[in-house]
Structure 1
Amino acid sequence: MVSGNDEVSSRIWTVPNVLSFVRLLLVPVFLVFLLRGEDALALATLIFSSVTDYLDGVIARRFHQITRLGQLLDPAADRLYIFATLIGLAERDIVPWWIVAVIVGRDLMLVVLGVILANHGFGPLPVHHLGKLATFCLFYALPIIMLAQALPVTAPVAGPVGWSFAIWGAFLYWWAGVIYAIETVRVIRLPRVESPAESDTLNR
């Protein structure tokens, strides 16, 4: 999160951005491990990615390296890891495909809402706290489910905990999506306020 005193720059080659690029490059590696059933290596890759995710945020805030690119790469990497985990686990029949459809369907809905907002001259909506909570639940649910696969001794605890997070996260994901849809409808119905430049143009 960017505070009021943090300046967002347009730089590309910063340490946090490099860490985000590394995370993105590891997504296909992680997915291959997962599809091959090499759960320990997949889990290790995911843990490494989580650590670099934490570090890039700390470094960006501590050394004032918050960038517009980083604000795009960081959530994109989170989403890709969630999708990769879902696809890998569903392909192995560890999670049902309906969970994949629920989560991917909600994100597709947000893309449509973004297009509608853009067509009406509005930018993306602010992230709702329910959306953040849902992402948090899913981001930790799937590794916990993977832990139960990689280390069967943990399954009696990790399995129920992981599935609880997954189901609750999927519910919150769509709850937040409904809120975004309602807010989109509200925003596009607002009367547009003309800027002075637009008024001058219309009066000529």
Structure 2
Amino acid sequence: MARRLTPEARRAEIIEVARTAITEDGYRSLSLRGLARRCGMSAPGVMHYFPDMPALLEAVLDHRDETDLAAIIDARGPDVTLVELFDAARAYYVARSAEVRNFDTLEAEALDPNHPAHDYFVRRTERTFEQLRPYIDREFENPGEVGTVVRLLLDGSRVARLRSPALSAVEQEAGWRAIQDVLDRYPRRGGSEPNAGRDRHRSRRTPAG
């Protein structure tokens, strides 16, 4: 029998259980019936909160993006630079390689316009850039040009990762350092050194476990 929870708590539990299921087995293995068993509910009970799999999937993706972004920003604090933010994101996802692999597979499948998550990932690309815009505007003297470059770099690196999911850690590191080198060519506001904050955080970094 399902535990008594408020509707908000029950909905949050279903989302978290679905995220765990995708992390462990991938989206293709997820079904309403299987998810209901994991939650100790019936399939109609799950459908009371999410009428179909596309609605559930979008809620899971929204939740993942929100919690990941909060954790990445909290790791560096409010004064983080753009490159430091990217570096924190990379470290965060390296430590979650199994989850990243299955959600990357989901994103690659969603390139198909008929996939239930296709529209979500189209919107996500624009939303991610809008979340980065304040960092770009605050830090760079020419934010418009840097914004264009950042968008191209992020789109390019994402496509490369989706096409070559077996990239080694060394290859991924080389690609990330190349992105940093490109951003370091753009002048910062107030004449700040682009590497200062990054070197400070590098000195404190420990290898991901």
TM-score normalised by the chain length of structure 2: 0.33
Normalising by structure 1, report the TM-score. Answer: 0.34
